[in-house]
Amino acid sequence: MRAIGLELADIFRQAGPAYRQEHGDSLSRGQRCVMSAIERCRTAALGGHVEQCDACGHQRIAFNSCRNRHCPKCQSLVRAKWLDDRRADLIPVEYFHVVFTLPEAIAAIAYQNKAVVYDLLFQATAETLRTIAADPRHLGAEIGFIALLHTWGQNLMHHPHLHCVVPGGGLSPDGERWISCRPGFFLPVRVLSRLFRRLFLVRLQRTFDAGELRFFNRLAALSSPAAFARYLAPVRQAEWVVYAKPPFGGPQQVLEYCKTACKTFQISGVISVQ
């Protein structure tokens, strides 16, 4: 029986045509295909099949699913399995919830260069956490973590940020013992923030120099190296937001919150990053 209430497919069916007409210039072919698949999922548009109970022989007609990886209905089992697998990875130590957020100016670039910039976000975040954690002045250990990308905020506006579920400690450099962080304190967020800013901007500049960024509409002028440099100048001086605290209710709650992320990335379990 269908759940009561609106589904994403209902919203797409009702508002999708007007949205595509208004924002057609900013929608890629892939995004249009995803919207279409979700709108048609489990409707007569995709055909149907007959299901029969092995015990009583009762039959019913069921519409076919779209099987698109972005469809909430088709991917519910996949998400549940992913969550169970990640829960199995958890170890009996204190965990921390660390969030790395891109500033608005960079988010605008990311909106037009999603795959490229989101990859940079993962890379810079991973190097930041590993570098600061390995520093003997802070933790002096090799850590592992689970990182999940969210591209929207609570207001459903574009707001790319990375949620990291990190154990409160790691392996010693010789790999022989566990080093715990101080109770209730993981790593200094200001140090994380500034290294993250530097590492991300270095990667972003390299990507620009390699001609891998594309700019359209109001950002079209950024194709010029001089304009790109001027655009990034204030961002280089601003404080980038990094949030870190023990997860309320434990790491399971963070996993539950993050499980609807549009992209997931795990760095070799929760202990080692090699």
Question: Is the pLDDT assigned to residue 43 strictly greater than 70?
Answer: yes
User: What mean pLDDT is predicted for residues 64-79?
Assistant: 81
One domain for residues 16 and 125: no
One domain for residues 155 and 37: no
One domain for residues 58 and 83: no
**Residue 38: inside a domain, yes or no?**
yes
User: What mean pLDDT is predicted for residues 178-196?
Assistant: 92
One domain for residues 81 and 57: no
Domain count, the chain: 2
Rg of the chain's alpha carbons, rounded to an integer? Answer: 22
Please answer whether residues 100 and 165 qualify as being in contact, where contact means their C-beta atoms are separated by less than 8 angstroms. no
One domain for residues 28 and 108: no
Please answer whether residues 191 and 138 qualify as being in contact, where contact means their C-beta atoms are separated by less than 8 angstroms. yes
One domain for residues 145 and 227: yes
Rounded Cα distance between 274 and 206, Å, is 25
**What's the pLDDT score for residue 263?**
38
Residues spanned by the domain of 137: 76-267
112, 114, 117, 120 alpha-carbon torsion, rounded to 10°: 180
Question: Is the pLDDT assigned to residue 99 strictly greater than 90?
Answer: yes
Please answer whether residues 12 and 39 qualify as being in contact, where contact means their C-beta atoms are separated by less than 8 angstroms. yes
One domain for residues 86 and 168: yes
What's this model's pTM, rounded to 2 decimal places? Answer: 0.76
Question: End-to-end CA distance of the chain, in Å?
Answer: 46
CA of 24: how far to CAs of 15, 20, 29, 155, 235, in Å? 13, 5, 10, 22, 30
**What's the pLDDT score for residue 103?**
96
**Residue 165: inside a domain, yes or no?**
yes
Spell out a b/e string for 150-169, using b for 16 or more CB atoms within 10 Å of the CB, else e.
Answer: bbeeeeeeeebbbbbbbbbb
Rounded Cα distance between 78 and 84, Å, is 10
Helix, strand, coil share of the chain (percent; to 5): 45, 20, 35
**What's the pLDDT score for residue 264?**
37
**Residue 69: inside a domain, yes or no?**
no
**Residue 2: inside a domain, yes or no?**
no
In degrees and rounded to multiples of 5, residue 169 shows phi and psi of: 160, -175
One domain for residues 250 and 142: yes
**Greater pLDDT, 236 or 151:** 236
User: What mean pLDDT is predicted for residues 218-242?
Assistant: 96
**What's the pLDDT score for residue 259?**
59
Pick from 83, 84, 70, 80: nearest CA to 33: 70
pLDDT band at 206 (very low <50, low <70, confident <90, very high): very high
One domain for residues 89 and 14: no
Residue 94 CB neighbours (<10 A)? 19
**Residue 68: inside a domain, yes or no?**
no
**What's the pLDDT score for residue 133?**
95
**Residue 273: inside a domain, yes or no?**
no
One domain for residues 234 and 110: yes
pLDDT band at 267 (very low <50, low <70, confident <90, very high): very low
pLDDT band at 261 (very low <50, low <70, confident <90, very high): very low
One domain for residues 47 and 144: no
In degrees and rounded to multiples of 5, residue 120 shows phi and psi of: -60, -40
